[in-house]
């Protein structure tokens, strides 16, 4: 059980009731569909998405900013089950970074 539980509550990675999931995934045209579909078909809104290729471009990192509600553990377990997802972490993102991004998008 402990291998699978996400233990989100113990991590210093949430603010304003939101949390950022940090995914390492295989980089191919269908991977975003797979991940976003998991959330959309559970009527779970993804508030923010940031995705960039890493390394030689075979993999990507995706940050998903989501509201923390009681379904989050189940969501993380579902994300872990996707064969294209190599790793899922909960991430502390500097509030300044988010603010900068927000500013960029607002301008």
Partner 1 sequence: MIKRSGAQIIIQLLERQGIRTIAGIPGGANLPIYDALAQSNKIRHVLTRHEQGAGFIAQGMARATGNAAVCFATSGPGATNVLTAIADAKLDSVPVICITGQVPYAMIGTDAFQEVDTYGMSIPITKHNFLVRSAEELLWVIPEAFRIALSGRPGPVLIDVPKDGQTGLVEFEDWPEPGRQDPFPRFDLADLKSAAELINRSRRPILYIGGGVIQAAAGSLAVGLAEKASIPTVVTLMGLGAMPTDHPFSLGMLGMHAARYANLALEECDLLIAAGVRFDDRATGKVAEFCPNAQIIHIDIDPSELDKIKTAHVGIVGDLREVLEALLPMLKRDTRQEWLQLVCRLKLMYPQRFNGDDNPLNPYALTKSVACLLNDQAIVVTDVGQHQMRTAQAYPFRRPRHWLTSGGLGTMGFGLPAAIGAALARPECPVVCFSGDGSLLMNIQELATAVEQNVNIKIILMNNNSLGLVHQQQELFFGKRIFASDYQARVDFIKIAEGFGMKALDLNVSEDPLETLAAGLSEPGPCLIHASIDVNEMVYPMVPPGAANKIMIGGEAHV
Distance CA(92)–CA(68), nearest Å, equals: 14
Nearest alpha-carbon partner for 66 in 11, 22, 103: 22
78 binds partner 1 (CB under 8 A): yes
2 binds partner 1 (CB under 8 A): yes
29 binds partner 1 (CB under 8 A): yes
58 binds partner 1 (CB under 8 A): no
33 binds partner 1 (CB under 8 A): yes
Which of 82, 92, 98, 101 binds partner 1 (CB under 8 A)? It is 82
Distance CA(91)–CA(64), nearest Å, equals: 10
Q: Which is nearer to partner 1, 35 or 93 (CB)?
A: 35
Nearest alpha-carbon partner for 73 in 21, 12, 34: 21
Residues 6+ apart with CB under 8 A from 53: 27, 59, 60
User: C-alpha angle with apex 53: 48 to 55, nearest 5 degrees?
Assistant: 140
37 binds partner 1 (CB under 8 A): yes
18 binds partner 1 (CB under 8 A): no
Smallest gap from residue 98 Cβ to partner 1 (A): 29
7 binds partner 1 (CB under 8 A): no
């Amino acid at each position: 059980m402990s291998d699978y539980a996400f233990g989100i509550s113990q991590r210093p990675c949430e603010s304003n009731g939101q949390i950022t999931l940090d995914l390492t995934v295989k980089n191919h045209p269908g991977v975003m569909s797979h991940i976003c579909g998991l959330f959309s078909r559970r009527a779970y809104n993804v508030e923010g998405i940031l995705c960039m290729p890493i390394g030689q471009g075979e993999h990507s990192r995706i940050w998903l900013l989501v509201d923390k509600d009681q379904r989050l553990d189940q969501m993380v377990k579902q994300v872990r089950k996707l064969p294209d997802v190599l790793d899922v972490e909960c991430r502390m993102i500097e509030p300044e970074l988010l603010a900068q991004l927000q500013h960029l998008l607002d301008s």
